Amino acid sequence: MKRGLIILVFTLSIATIIAQPKGKICMEEIKARKIAYITDVVKLTPEEAQLFWPIYNELQQKIADFHKKRHALEKQISESNGISIDYEKINDELVQLRVEIATTQQTYYKKYKTILSAEKINRLFKAEHGFKKVLLESFDKK
C-alpha cells in the first residue's frame, strides 16, 4: 500500500513539474541529476560512460514509448463515456506491452553485459531504484 502511494506521489510530482512553465528546464535538471547519480553509484569509468549512456538513453526512450502506448490504451477506456469498448482486446494489448518491455529490457541487459561487469549492472539496477527515492525526497523538501 505504501509503495503504491509512493508511486502515485512520484507520478503526480513528475506531472506537476512537466505542467509548470519551466517544466522543460526542470526535466533537464532531473535528467542531469539522474546521470550524475547513476554514474556515481555505478562507478562508471569515462570509457564505460561513453559506451553506456547512448545505450541506456536508447532503452529509456523505448520504455517511454511503451508507456505512451499504455497511456493511450488507458485513455480509450476513460474516454469511452459508456460506449461499449472491447476490454479483452485492450487487456491483451496491455499485457503484450508488458511483455515487450520485459523483452526489450532483456535485450539491453545483454548489451550492458558487453560494457559493464555483472557487479556494475547490479549497481545500475539499484541506482535506478535509489534515484527515484532521492527524487521523491527532494520533492518532500520543497
pLDDT digits (tens, 9 = 90+) for 70-106: 999 999 888 887 788 888 999 999 999 999 999 999 9
Domain ranges of the chain: 1-44+119-142, 45-115
User: In which residue are the cell numbers 461499449 written?
Assistant: 84
Please, which pLDDT band fits residue 17 given cuts at 50, 70 and 90? very low
Distance CA 97, CA 14 (A): 22
* Tally of CB atoms within 10 A around 38: 20
Whole-model pTM: value is: 0.74
Q: What is the pLDDT of residue 67?
A: 95
* Tally of CB atoms within 10 A around 123: 19
Q: Which of 120, 116, 131 is nearest to 42 (CA)?
A: 120
Q: Check if the beta carbon of residue 117 is closer than 8 Å to that of residue 52.
A: no
Q: Check if the beta carbon of residue 101 is closer than 8 Å to that of residue 63.
A: yes
* For residue 16, pLDDT beyond 70: no
Q: Give the pLDDT mean for 15-40.
A: 74
Distance CA 56, CA 53 (A): 5
Q: Which of 141, 135, 59, 48 is nearest to 100 (CA)?
A: 59
Residue 122: all three cell numbers together = 547490479
